[in-house]
Amino acid sequence: MTTSTAGVAKNPFQPNSRALDARRRGANILAITLTALFAVLAGAFLLYLIAYVASLGLKYINVNFFTQRPVAEGETGGGWATALQGTAVLVGLASLVGIPLGMATGVYLSEFGRGWLASVVRFLVDTLTGIPTIIFGLFAWVILVVPAHSFSALSGGVALSIIMIPTVARASEEVLRLVPRELREASVALGATESRTILRVVIPAARSGILTGIMLAIARVAGETAPLLMTAFGTTFFNTSILRPIDAIPLRIFDFTLSPFPSEQNQAYAGALVLMVLVILTSLAVRWATGGFRPRGR
Partner 1 sequence: MQASISSSADSLSARARAWVVQLRLLTRRPGDFLFRGLTYFLVLTVMAIVAGVTWILVSNSLPTIQTFGLKFLTNDAFDPVHNTFGVGPAIFGTFITSAFAMIFAVPIGVGMAIFLLDYCPRQLRGPLAFLVDSLAAIPSVVIGLWGLLVLAPWLQASGEPWLQAHLGFLPFFQGTPQGVGLLAAGMILTVMVLPIITAIAREVMAVVPVAQREALLALGATRWEVIRYAVLPFARIGIAGGAILGLGRALGETIAVTMVIGNQASPPSLHLFNPGYTLSSVIANQFGEATQGLFFSAVIEAGLLLLLFTLLTNILARILIARLGRTRVAGLTL
148-167 residues near partner 1, rule: CB under 8 A = 149, 162, 165, 167
Q: Vertex 152, ends 151 and 155: CA angle to 5°?
A: 105
- The interface mask with partner 1, positions 61-100, x = CB under 8 A, is ---------------------------------------x
Determine if 220 is a binding residue for partner 1 (CB under 8 A).
yes
> At its nearest, how many Å lie between partner 1 and the CB of residue 81?
19
The contacts of residue 229 (CB under 8 Å, 6+ apart) are: 137, 251, 254
Determine if 129 is a binding residue for partner 1 (CB under 8 A).
yes
The contacts of residue 24 (CB under 8 Å, 6+ apart) are: 15
Q: Is the dihedral of CA 63, 65, 69, 73 positive or negative?
A: positive
Among 193, 208, 241, 263, contact with partner 1 (rule: CB under 8 A): 193
d(CA 171, CA 166): 8
Q: Of 218, 92, 99, 225, whose CA–CA distance to 154 is shortest?
A: 92
- Nearer of residues 85 and 282 to partner 1, judged by Cβ: 282
Phi/psi at 256 (5° precision): -70, -35
Among 22, 146, 148, 186, contact with partner 1 (rule: CB under 8 A): 146
Determine if 269 is a binding residue for partner 1 (CB under 8 A).
yes
Determine if 53 is a binding residue for partner 1 (CB under 8 A).
yes
Determine if 18 is a binding residue for partner 1 (CB under 8 A).
no
Stretch that binds partner 1, among 70-78, 81-89, 237-245, 276-284 (CB under 8 A): 276-284
Among 154, 164, 176, 275, contact with partner 1 (rule: CB under 8 A): 275
Counting residues that bind partner 1 (by CB under 8 A) gives: 102
> At its nearest, how many Å lie between partner 1 and the CB of residue 82?
17
Under rule CB under 8 A, which residues in 100-119 are in contact with partner 1? 100-101, 104-105, 107-108, 111-112
Determine if 289 is a binding residue for partner 1 (CB under 8 A).
no
Determine if 186 is a binding residue for partner 1 (CB under 8 A).
no
Under rule CB under 8 A, which residues in 25-44 are in contact with partner 1? 25, 27-28, 30-32, 34-36, 38-40, 42-43
Among 141, 184, 206, 218, contact with partner 1 (rule: CB under 8 A): 141
> At its nearest, how many Å lie between partner 1 and the CB of residue 278?
9
E-strand ranges in 94-173 read: none
Q: Of 106, 82, 60, whose CA–CA distance to 269 is shortest?
A: 60
> At its nearest, how many Å lie between partner 1 and the CB of residue 139?
5
Write down the H helix ranges in 149-261: 153-178, 181-189, 194-197, 203-205, 207-222, 226-229, 249-257
Among 4, 5, 7, 13, contact with partner 1 (rule: CB under 8 A): 13
Q: How many residues does the chain have?
A: 298
The contacts of residue 205 (CB under 8 Å, 6+ apart) are: 179, 183
Among 54, 61, 81, 121, contact with partner 1 (rule: CB under 8 A): 121
Judge contact between 160 and 220, C-beta under 8 A. Answer: no
CA atoms within 13 A on the CB side of 140: 28
